[in-house]
Structure 1
């Protein structure tokens, strides 16, 4: 009886072993993104959050930052490259038949601030015959400044002088050395100048040109749909973290990305950007935002004619 039972059990085990097994598909290897940028800015805090909180790993890709002096848009390669910069580069690239596309945004408002050597309030008309160190020729912040000057009946380069040929990292030092009466600059450099008593924030571009998103992720028009979607999901998590945390909480983990700044410096800059509404609730770009940018480029003669805006965006997965 026992022998018969053991034989029956053995047969059952053999039959079970012969049943077809459901194969688990192998996990996909994580995607890789190299993000190229030219300067550190508090506007990029959602991106730094992606790295600090490992949101890239959670969405199955690895993000690497690469800092350069100037952008060189390389030809298509197998490597997935993103460029963190102004959307104007995509508009200019289209005119030059360069295949650039916009993936997402990280800033809903300009983070550029106008500093004066004097702490006293200065009206726009009072800037006549003065010198402003601006953000660079053709840059969206510079064009927004020129638009604002014209709005206040000042002709750029005629009624006042704009210095547009200085590298980003040299502008604060040039201003501190005595050049110009005003400087257009982002955080945390603006707060650093204030702390050194070298300049005082008197105006912001965001208050003059509202709803002007100024920092975008652009790429060659190679399409990596899964990795692109994963990047936007990670960036969304970064944006939500910045919205939820206090300036003190953000500065506590973000200070490692700004070796020349203290937590106190970052807190002041973060408060300023939160007040201005610089960070969007979503990285998604709307057609209305592109229209605002295009209109500014047309009014400043950087574009000769409107562009087909849909062709500037990467396709959605």
Structure 2
């Protein structure tokens, strides 16, 4: 977001909660989301055993969570509250471990559970150090976790660029939906040189199974409503933003119409 509002980038890819914060700060040339990419949180709850799991099992336990105010931590807290589990009361959550060190801390014996993104989740399982017991993406519902956005002025001045960009994203979403994890892994392998092919296929399969990626770039109002519910629940929302203020669907609609 810093790169975007300082004119060091024309288009940015991030969590749309950032666009809510910018709008609420009163920036005149605020940021608008024009293409959604993912529709679920991408992290998983890892436990130490492979026994049957229920969220109620978290009561009295310790979870390695995320940074306070960060989306992964807010999603975790939202899921707990939704299941009548009070964060930091019914369950202890560790929030002061660096994102890159959480998996290592869990393997080293810290906590009963840890919330991990890929590839850490699959690596922990494959090494026999823990087991995925729940998908936080499934438990939280269809959250617009990542989207493409640009400043209002840039979109107004460059509608053709935004349209072509959205068309490309939509084609990619269709391609991912229509191809196997093995085919997807083969294409993205150059971006993950240090990840072996078998692990890459495993990760893509897990994300496909839980419907992580949208099949079109349309940003739905229900998604923004849920996102703001999560922010509000975490105490990070000053006031709710109207859907039409920070979302435009015209480019997604045009992309869908043109490609179909």
Interval containing the TM-score (normalised by the shorter chain): 0.7 to 0.9
Q: Deviations over 1:260-293 (max 9, x none)?
A: 3211111112111111111111112122221221
Aligned pair partner of 1:210 in 136, 141, 147: 141
Give the unaligned 5+ runs of structure 1.
1-70
| Ranges of 4+ aligned residues in structure 1 off by more than 4 Å | 314-317
Tell me what 2:18 maps to. Answer: 89
CA contact (8 A) 1:242 1:250 kept: yes
SS at match of 1:106: strand
Matched, 1:156 2:68: no
Change (3 A) 1:218 1:163: farther
Aligned pair partner of 1:253 in 162, 165, 187: 187
Tell me what 1:198 maps to. Answer: 129
Aligned pair partner of 1:233 in 148, 155, 167: 167
Change (3 A) 1:315 1:215: closer
Tell me what 1:72 maps to. Answer: 2
- The CA distance in 1 between the partners of 2:98 and 2:24, in whole Å, is 24
Change (3 A) 1:194 1:124: same
Q: Identify the structure with bigger relative contact order (alpha carbons < 8 Å, sequence gap 6+).
A: 2
Cα-Cα RMSD: 2.2
Give the unaligned 5+ runs of structure 2.
252-260
Structure 1, 163-172 or 204-213: larger mean CA deviation: 163-172
> Cα distance, 1:316 vs. partner?
4.2
Change (3 A) 1:219 1:185: farther
Matched, 1:266 2:200: yes
Q: Could you state the TM-score of these two structures normalised by the residue count of structure 2?
A: 0.85
- The CA distance in 2 between the partners of 1:246 and 1:131, in whole Å, is 37
Tell me what 1:41 maps to. Answer: none
CA contact (8 A) 1:107 1:215 kept: yes
Change (3 A) 1:198 1:260: farther
What number of residue pairs does the alignment pair up? Answer: 246
Q: Which has the larger radius of gyration?
A: 1
Q: Deviations over 1:43-79 (max 9, x none)?
A: xxxxxxxxxxxxxxxxxxxxxxxxxxxx6345443x5
CA contact (8 A) 2:31 2:151 kept: yes
Q: Could you state the TM-score of these two structures normalised by the residue count of structure 1?
A: 0.71
